[in-house]
Structure 1
Amino acid sequence: MSYGRRLRALLESDGIVVSPGVHDPLSARVAEEVGFDLVAMTGNGTSLAKVGQPDVGVLTLTEMVENAKYIQQAVDVPIISDADNGFGNAVNVTRTVREFAAAGVGAIHIEDQVFPKRCGFVEGKRVVSKEEAVGKFRAAADIRDECGSEMVLIARTDARGAPEGTLDDAIDRVNAYCEAGADVAFVQGAKDVDELERVAREVDAPLLYNCSGGSPVVSIERADELGYDVVIFPRLSTLPTITALFERFGQLRAEGMDAWTETKEAFEGVPVESYDHFSGVPQVLEWEEEYLPEE
């Protein structure tokens, strides 16, 4: 079963699906180990981890697809990958969809921002016209189907956070995008809980709730009650990584070898058999036994 089909089954099941944000295969492996059925590749975290820059459209399509492919290959659960604004107009979107479909990911989300885009919770976002965006989602759905892919297409609008943007416009846009072929609606930038509730009432499609940045915070249970189908926490891997590294590197700078000893001892409390076991060394030894000559 493809990861796209598995994600579709999750969307059709009862209850909301919770997806932590991951920025690399390592963080995705941890998410799978603790029991999540879905992970979301954060564009923000990918940009910072891969090129050390903020999420302002500096990553290329090739870099995003490569990271998504490595993450999807590292875990046996579907991933939702950020695909920015499709990396151009409807013509560019055709290649974007082909590349992500070839990577085998469970889903991508494409936004209606202009290029260069901005992270969803950063001021200064601008969006293309509704008509242009509808064309992009029509192209995305057509190419996805042409490829024979079951990848889920998530339509994101940043219209609410654009200058003079309104929630009415955002709701109208995602409904149009889903009519054009998208499978899931993602309204970024709701200002308060009342707006989250309006989105749930007035959008006629499965819904994604992004719990990050300037989004209003409701409990997972409340998001489920409202009718959201997926909740993602995009920076859930990136923030603790930065926090832990500042702590550990600072301790090493201050205390030297004692800090390294403490780091190793702390790892012993992680619920894995060993570092080598977690990284996959036993599997490599099995392959060597199976496929390499005895000598």
Structure 2
Amino acid sequence: MTDTGARLRELLARDEPLVCPGVHDPLTAAVADAVGFDAVYMTGYGTSLSKIGYPDAGFITMPEMIDNAANIQERVDVPLIADADNGYGNATNVVRTVREYVKAGVGAIHIEDQTFPKRCGHTKGRQVIPREEAVGKIRAAADVRDERSEEFVLIARTDARGTGDGSLDEAIGRVNDFLDAGADVAFVEGPTDGDELRRIGEAVDGPLVYNFVGDLGSSPYVDLDSLDEWGFDLVIFPVASTLSTIANVYADLDAFAEDPVAAMRGIDDAFGETPVGSLHEFSGFPEVVEWEREYLPEEDQDKYSGSLGDDVE
């Protein structure tokens, strides 16, 4: 197995919160990796929207999510934390879900206690399954982790705070039960203010995640120093790349509609100001050339002589 889980555990053990930008595909993950983040987070919302064109409302399937996670982890050199929604069924379904994510080589997943179909943790109308059933799903996930990859990090999330009659006490009680059932990290979705975050830090007996969604949802903007003080070990920004992609592509294509040539020049100039090199360099063409030189017949290199196009060596 890969060592992404072990590397992630080392990062979580540091004295400061681990900050993970959300990515929704291998391309946005490669950008985050190039910037220099220590780990990245695969957003379920962004994956659903970018891969199948639907919102985070239970439409995307387990194989589609795992396929995206595997491709992202293959593309980056840092551990990936992946959204595994509600495990795509009951506890027996969770067994296969966790096995597949372990095979994908990711460093961690989080599983939530929502009913099916689930929805974004910052929209109205969420419901959660009974606590006993949810604990059974986490026990199943922990057993698979112990059997298949002990360093794999299991994050257990509750959406109980955001249900119609949800309370913070119920959410805290659930994640403490999840930790007792074998989860490595606790994730209370949807705290509404700093006081609730402080209470979570005081009452939860284990490492903590904060889901920094900004204006998309109900969780507040909080500075990292406060989150560190309150005991949060991991801060994910799930829709960072997705919102950035939509905003920047919209702006560029809006300009493109007015003057395509000038807009294309502006896009080229903006790309040239980044430190990633050319598009061919960033995408990995030089490595492909190295593979050709190493493994293909020598005469196969003749195709480069006198041919037109950008130099990809």
Partner residue of 2:40?
Answer: 39
Match of 1:236 among 225, 236, 240: 240
Deviation track 1:80-103 (CA, whole Å, cap 9, x = no partner) reads 100000001001100100100000
- Unaligned segments of structure 2, at least 5 residues: 300-313
Whole-angstrom CA distance in 2 between matches of 1:40 and 1:256 = 34
Which amino acid is the alignment partner of residue 260 of structure 1? Answer: M
Residue identity matched to 2:165:
E
Give SS of 2:19's match. strand
TM-score by length of 2: 0.93
Q: Which amino acid aligns with 1:56?
A: A
Farther off after superposition, 230-239 or 280-289: 280-289
Which residue does 1:185 correspond to in 2?
A: 186
Contact 1:20 1:237 in 2 (8 A): yes
1:134 aligns with 2:135: yes
Partner in structure 2 of residue 273 of structure 1: 277
Counterpart residue number, 2:249? 245
Match of 2:264 among 250, 260, 263: 260
Query: Aligned residue for 1:219?
Result: 223
Q: Distance in 2 between matches of 1:97 and 1:223?
A: 29
How far is the alpha carbon of 1:150 from its aligned partner? 2.1
Q: Which residue of 1 aligns with 2:162?
A: 161
Where does residue 79 of structure 1 map in the other structure?
80
Letter in 2 for 1:219: D
| Cα separation, 2, equivalents of 1:103 and 1:272 | 27
Corresponding position of 1:29: 30
* Alpha-carbon shift at residue 256 of structure 1 (Å): 2.1
The one-letter amino acid paired with 2:262 is D
Query: Partner residue of 1:286?
Result: 290
How far apart, in 1, do the equivalents of 2:222 and 2:271 lie? 33
Partner of 1:62: 63
Q: What is the CA distance between 1:275 and its match in structure 2?
A: 1.3
Residue 117 of structure 1 is matched in structure 2 by: 118
Work out the CA distance in 1 between the residues paired with 2:148 and 2:108.
14
**Aligned partners of 1:196, 1:148: CA distance in 2, in Å?**
31
Aligned partner of 1:225: which letter? E
Alpha carbons 1:101, 1:149 under 8 Å: kept: no
Counterpart CA distance in 1 for 2:114 and 2:76 is 30
RMSD: 0.9
Distance 1:102 1:242, change over 3 A: same
Counterpart of 1:73, as a letter, is: E
Give the TM-score of the pair, scaled to structure 1: 0.98
The Cα shift of 1:226 comes to 1.1
**2:110 and 2:289 mapped to 1: Cα distance?**
38
Deviation readout 1:148-179 (Å, 9 max, x if unpaired): 35210000000000111000000000000010
Q: Output the amino acid matched with 1:277.
A: E
> What residue identity is the alignment partner of 2:200?
V
Question: Rg: which structure is higher?
Answer: 2
Alignment CA distance shift 1:99-1:149 (3 Å): farther
| Worse-superposed segment, 234-243 or 260-269 | 260-269
Q: Distance between the aligned counterparts of 1:46 and 1:241, measured in 2?
A: 13
SS of match in other structure, 2:240: coil
Q: Which runs of 5+ in 1 are unaligned?
A: none
Q: Which moved more, 1:260-269 or 1:69-78?
A: 260-269
Letter in 2 for 1:234: P
User: What residue is the counterpart of 2:308 in the other structure?
Assistant: none
Q: Report SS of the residue matched to 2:116.
A: coil
Q: Which deviates further from its counterpart, 207-216 or 179-188?
A: 207-216
Instruction: Return the letter of the residue paired with 1:257.
Output: V
CA deviations on 1:106-156 (whole Å, 9 max, x unpaired) are 000000000000100000000000000000000001112122352100000
Structure 1: 4+ residue segments shifted above 4 A: none
DSSP-derived class of the 2:298 partner: coil
Whole-Å Cα distance in 1 between the matches of residues 167 and 63 of structure 2? 33
Query: Which secondary structure state, in structure 2, belongs to the residue aligned with residue 156 of structure 1?
Result: strand
